[in-house]
Amino acid sequence: MKIEVYGTGCANCKALENNARKAAEESGVQAEIVKIQEMDQIFEAGITGTPGLGIDGEIKSMGRIPSVDEIKKWIESKK
């Protein structure tokens, strides 16, 4: 599973990355967490507000920090 965190490295982006790591760990999945910080790539993915989160190429959120439980639900749906 590949989890993409879109953002320029701000505090919100780091909080989202931490939530994503914790959700993957609690779900017991092997996840590659990739940080995408280049604005061109962020816009190319369709992210209009950071931070953004994608799972296996599907954008799940943007402009907010989803909770660990919310991210776990998205991960579970991909198993």
Active site residue 56: no
- The catalytically annotated residue of 10, 11, 15, 33 is 10
DSSP the chain: -EEEEESSS-HHHHHHHHHHHHHHHHHT---EEEEE--HHHHHHTT--SSSEEEETTEEEEESS---HHHHHHHHHHH-
Q: Could you confirm whether 10 is annotated as catalytic?
A: yes
Of 5, 13, 24, 47, which residue is the catalytic one?
13
Catalytic residues: 10, 13
